[in-house]
Structures are given as C-alpha cells and as structure tokens.
Amino acid sequence: MNDSTKDSNVITSDQPLTSEQAELLSSLLNVIIPPSDDGVMPGAGELDLVSYLREQTPEVVATIRQASSFFEFDFPSKSATERHQLVVEFSVTEPEMFNTLLFQSYACYYQNDRVLTGLGLAAGPPFPRGNSVDSGDLTTLDKVVQNAKGYRRV
C-alpha cells in the first residue's frame, strides 16, 4: 500500500488526486481497459480521469483514492504481466472496491467523445441528436394473419 502522507501527495480543493495518484491511477486504468491493438480505441488511462472525478460525489472520489492506495507508486513501472496480476489480486481481495473502480472506469470511458467516435457513434449525449431506425419489414404479416389461431372468444 502506498504512503498517502508524502509531501507531494497534497490534495487541493480542485484537485481530486495528487500527481502521483493520478499517474498510478492512469496506469491502473490502462490495465482495466488497455488501448486497442489497432490504436482506434484509447486506453482508459489516457482519458482525463481527473476532470471526470471533479464531477463525482466526494464519496466516489474517496473510494477511487482508497482503491488506488492499495497499489504502490512504482506500479506504472512494473511489467504488463505484473500489473495485470496485481489487479487480479486486488479484484479478489477487495471485490467491492474493485467493482466500484471498474464501474467508475467504465462510466468515465464510455461517455468520452473519443471513445464514442472510436465506436463509430456520434459524440455527446443522445438528445437532441436522436437516432435513425429502419421501419422494418411488415410484408410477412399476411402469413402471420393466415396462420394465427386468433384470440380466444368468451
């Protein structure tokens, strides 16, 4: 577990994480959602998690901070295999906290414009843009009517 009382670990009112915590968390999130091989999809750690956390409740920020404290600050310098193994161990020993970390990681990731456009979707919220949907093929309904048993008379 890292030492959250280090001098550099100062949390200001508009900074939910210290720079060391942010670096660690970024590396941690890139294990949870790494960049895609083709480079289209960013890793979760490449996104602006700090801005995301600023919009969250203090309880969420505290949980994320607590989750990251289970990892040493040298986590980013470890090999990919070691980092993956450490996250697996964390998910087993602290399942509730891991699930919160995962939920927030996915929440941050899948509302990000870069991610949405990488998926071929429009950036931003659904409204007022909306979506187009094909009307569908109703031509086989004639056969449905022919085959149907009909409603039960009373």
Give me the residues that bind another protein (CB under 8 A), please: 31-34, 36, 41, 84, 87, 102-103, 106-107, 109-111, 115-116, 119, 121, 124-138, 140-141, 143-145, 147-154
Going by C-beta distance under 8 Å and a sequence separation of 6 or more, which residues neighbour residue 147?
A: none
CA atoms lying within 13 Å on the CB side of residue 17: 25
Using the minimum distance from each CB to another protein, give the nearer residue, 19 or 51. 51
Q: Can you tell me the distance from the alpha carbon of 105 to that of 116, in angstroms, rounded to the nearest whole number?
A: 15
| Per-residue buried b or exposed e for 70-93, using 16+ beta carbons within 10 Å of the residue's own CB | bbebebbeeeeeebeebbeebeee
Phi, psi of 51 (to 5 degrees): -65, -40
- Report the nearest approach of another protein to the CB of residue 19 (Å): 25
Using the minimum distance from each CB to another protein, give the nearer residue, 11 or 122. 122
E strands in 58-98: none
Phi, psi of 110 (to 5 degrees): -85, 15
